[in-house]
């Protein structure tokens, strides 16, 4: 007997038939004698609809978000998961499985106060562990918890993955299965590159990079938690026949295992390619080249919760003036320009320019640590396709390249094949 957490994403619970199909996956594990907790997302499209409704309301000035009251945003957008966890509990009961639904506040899943992008602080697993021991399936609403203000807090888009891994850690599950609409983690998004290959295993660190650089198959925070708490996490498909051979295999279920790098026998130099759309570039021209100028720019941006990513500073020709360019998510450009305007005198620049609709493509692999020339291969391949590079950043295990939006798919395909990742 094992203890398993099963998470089902939006497309897997998109309608009543799919919810019944999910119930069959759960029944398979229950029938095998395992203790099961299930985490569900909202039906696909639901969260977008709810977010759209909130964004359509008049802006609340003076609340803790410049656009609307983030606590009420959470009250609205958390409702999608409330519906699906109730429906799945009913579907399970109809199959004679003892099940009940849990909202985040009922467990409770305690979070910090960052409404809209809250982090899980603590989960009291005692009650669900006890009930799982009595044979009851816990069906938990993903994406939500309870803030210190006793109000619903949501975990940021894609947050149900994080709910699942956090619950798996809290109940000391033997496995956390993330069921989605693809049958594992691929060398790149299989919807963009049909040549992408499914990976049997991915190291935590690589998955962390892939997720934070745009592969939305897992939320970044879920990978962090899996890494820290050593949660055995599989990404697998909910669309396969729940009763097909091997689906209930305890140690080697179908899908991709996210694991420590020493569990991976054949490590390639490059593991995958990720891309993130909607990047924007901001340049400050004729900036004073003196100590403290970076702090004067990025301090106020950080205080306004603007995530700055790539930063490029030119060396000044005459030792007095320079240019600084950096990227932010396109949605933050307006806010960033406003903050820079307010701090113009303190920073000391001439003009600010910006360009939106850019894309960041990234090459990821822990094998890069011990190989030279990996970046040069990318630059050459992109040059041969006439793709201009606007900025570059590197770390030990990744290279990120900023390009114009329209070239995104061509760049991803080009990089995927230049590192030999295409399937035969």
Binding mask 142-171 for ligand ADP (x = CB under 6 A): ----------------x-------------
Burial class (CB in 10 A: 0-12, 13-18, 19+), 5: buried
- Examine residue 10 and tell whether it contacts ligand ADP (CB under 6 A): yes
In order of 216, 306, 323, the CA distances from 209 in angstroms are 11, 20, 29
Question: Given phi > 0 = left and psi -120 to 50 = alpha, else beta, which region is 30?
Answer: alpha
Stretch that binds Mg ion, among 3-11, 17-25, 297-305, 389-397 (CB under 5 A): 3-11
Contact predicate 361/400, CB 8 Å: yes
Partner from Mg ion, ligand ASP, ligand ADP, none binding residue 255, C-beta < 5-8 Å depending on class: none
Partner from ligand ASP, Mg ion, ligand ADP, none binding residue 348, C-beta < 5-8 Å depending on class: none
Of the candidates 280, 288, 257, 287, which has an alpha carbon nearest to the alpha carbon of residue 360?
A: 280
Per DSSP, the three-state class of 163 is helix
Partner from ligand ASP, Mg ion, ligand ADP, none binding residue 42, C-beta < 5-8 Å depending on class: ligand ASP
Q: Output the smallest distance, CB 215 to ligand ADP, in A.
A: 4
Per DSSP, the three-state class of 72 is helix
- Examine residue 215 and tell whether it contacts ligand ADP (CB under 6 A): yes
In order of 27, 41, 84, 398, 412, the CA distances from 103 in angstroms are 21, 12, 11, 38, 39
The verdict on whether residue 216 carries a ligand-binding annotation is: yes
SS3 content of the chain, % helix, strand, coil (to 5): 35, 25, 40
319: CB partners within 8 A, 6+ apart = 289
**Gap between the Cα atoms of 274 and 323, Å rounded:** 29
φ, ψ of residue 116 to 5 degrees: the values are 95, -25
- Examine residue 158 and tell whether it contacts ligand ASP (CB under 6 A): yes
Contact predicate 155/163, CB 8 Å: yes
φ, ψ of residue 236 to 5 degrees: the values are -150, 175
In the complex with ligand ASP, which residue's Cβ is closer, 104 or 158?
A: 158
Q: What is the DSSP-derived secondary structure letter of residue 289?
A: -
Partner from ligand ASP, Mg ion, ligand ADP, none binding residue 258, C-beta < 5-8 Å depending on class: none
Question: Given phi > 0 = left and psi -120 to 50 = alpha, else beta, which region is 163?
Answer: alpha
Footprint of ligand ADP on 32-91 (CB under 6 A) = 41
Binding mask 268-297 for ligand ADP (x = CB under 6 A): ----x-------------------------
- Examine residue 159 and tell whether it contacts Mg ion (CB under 5 A): no
Stretch that binds Mg ion, among 6-14, 24-32, 162-170, 224-232 (CB under 5 A): 6-14
- Examine residue 365 and tell whether it contacts ligand ASP (CB under 6 A): no
From 116, 142, 158, 184, residue interacting with Mg ion (rule: CB under 5 A): 158
- Examine residue 11 and tell whether it contacts ligand ASP (CB under 6 A): no
In the complex with Mg ion, which residue's Cβ is closer, 47 or 101?
A: 47
**Gap between the Cα atoms of 193 and 422, Å rounded:** 9
The verdict on whether residue 11 carries a ligand-binding annotation is: no
Binding mask 23-42 for ligand ADP (x = CB under 6 A): ------------------x-
Size of the site for ligand ASP (CB under 6 A): 13
Length of the chain equals 424
- Examine residue 12 and tell whether it contacts ligand ASP (CB under 6 A): no
Binding mask 105-144 for ligand ASP (x = CB under 6 A): -------------------------------------xx-
- Examine residue 216 and tell whether it contacts ligand ADP (CB under 6 A): yes
Q: What is the DSSP-derived secondary structure letter of residue 400?
A: E
**Gap between the Cα atoms of 343 and 338, Å rounded:** 9
- Examine residue 41 and tell whether it contacts ligand ASP (CB under 6 A): yes
The neighbouring-strand residues paired with 404 are 358
- Examine residue 145 and tell whether it contacts ligand ASP (CB under 6 A): no
Q: Residue of minimal CB distance from Mg ion?
A: 158
Q: What is the DSSP-derived secondary structure letter of residue 3?
A: E
Footprint of Mg ion on 9-28 (CB under 5 A) = 9
Contact predicate 364/398, CB 8 Å: yes
List residues near ligand ASP by CB under 6 A: 9-10, 41-42, 47, 80, 142-143, 157-161
| Residues near ligand ADP (CB under 6 A) | 9-12, 41, 158, 180-182, 185-186, 188-191, 215-217, 272
Binding site for Mg ion (CB under 5 A): 9, 158
Q: Which residues are annotated as a binding site?
A: 7-10, 47, 81, 180-181, 186, 191, 216-217
Report the binding-site residues for substrate: 47, 81
């Amino acid at each position: 007997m094992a203890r398993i957490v099963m998470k089902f994403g939006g497309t897997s619970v998109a309608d009543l038939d799919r919810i019944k199909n999910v119930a069959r996956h759960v029944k398979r594990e229950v029938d095998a004698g395992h203790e099961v907790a299930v985490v569900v997302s909202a039906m696909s499209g639901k969260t977008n609809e709810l977010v759209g409704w909130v964004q359509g309301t008049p802006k609340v000035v003076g609340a803790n978000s410049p656009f609307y009251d983030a606590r009420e945003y959470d009250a609205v957008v958390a409702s999608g998961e409330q519906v699906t966890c109730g429906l799945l509990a009913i579907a399970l009961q109809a199959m004679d499985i003892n099940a009940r639904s849990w909202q985040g506040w009922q467990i409770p899943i305690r979070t910090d106060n960052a409404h809209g992008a809250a982090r899980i602080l603590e989960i009291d697993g005692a009650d669900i562990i006890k009930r799982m021991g009595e044979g009851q399936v816990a069906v938990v609403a993903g994406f939500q918890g309870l803030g210190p203000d006793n109000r619903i807090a949501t975990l940021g888009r894609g947050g149900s993955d994080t709910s699942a891994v956090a619950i798996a850690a809290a109940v000391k599950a033997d496995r956390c299965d993330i069921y989605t609409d693809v049958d594992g983690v691929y060398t790149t998004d299989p919807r963009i590159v049909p040549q992408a290959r499914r990976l049997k295993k991915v190291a935590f660190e690589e998955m962390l990079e892939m997720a934070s650089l745009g592969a939305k198959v897992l939320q970044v925070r879920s990978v962090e938690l899996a890494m820290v708490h050593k949660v055995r996490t599989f990404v697998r498909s909910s669309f396969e026949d729940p009763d097909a051979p091997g689906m209930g295999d305890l140690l080697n279920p179908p899908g991709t295992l996210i694991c420590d790098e020493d569990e991976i026998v054949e490590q390639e130099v490059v593991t995958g390619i990720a891309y993130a759309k909607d990047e924007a570039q901001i340049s400050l021209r004729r900036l004073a080249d003196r100590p403290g100028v970076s702090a004067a720019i990025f301090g106020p941006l950080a205080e306004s919760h603007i995530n700055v990513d790539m930063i490029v500073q030119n060396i000044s020709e005459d030792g007095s003036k320079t240019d600084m360019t950096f990227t932010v998510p396109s949605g933050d450009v307006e806010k960033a320009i406003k903050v820079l305007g307010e701090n113009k005198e303190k920073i000391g620049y001439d003009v600010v320019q910006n360009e939106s609709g850019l894309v960041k493509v990234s090459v990821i692999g822990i094998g890069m640590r011990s190989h030279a020339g990996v970046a040069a291969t990318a630059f050459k391949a992109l040059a041969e396709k006439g793709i201009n590079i606007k900025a570059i950043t590197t770390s030990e295990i990744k290279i990120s390249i900023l390009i114009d939006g329209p070239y995104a798919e061509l760049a991803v395909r080009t990089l995927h094949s230049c590192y030999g990742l295409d399937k035969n």
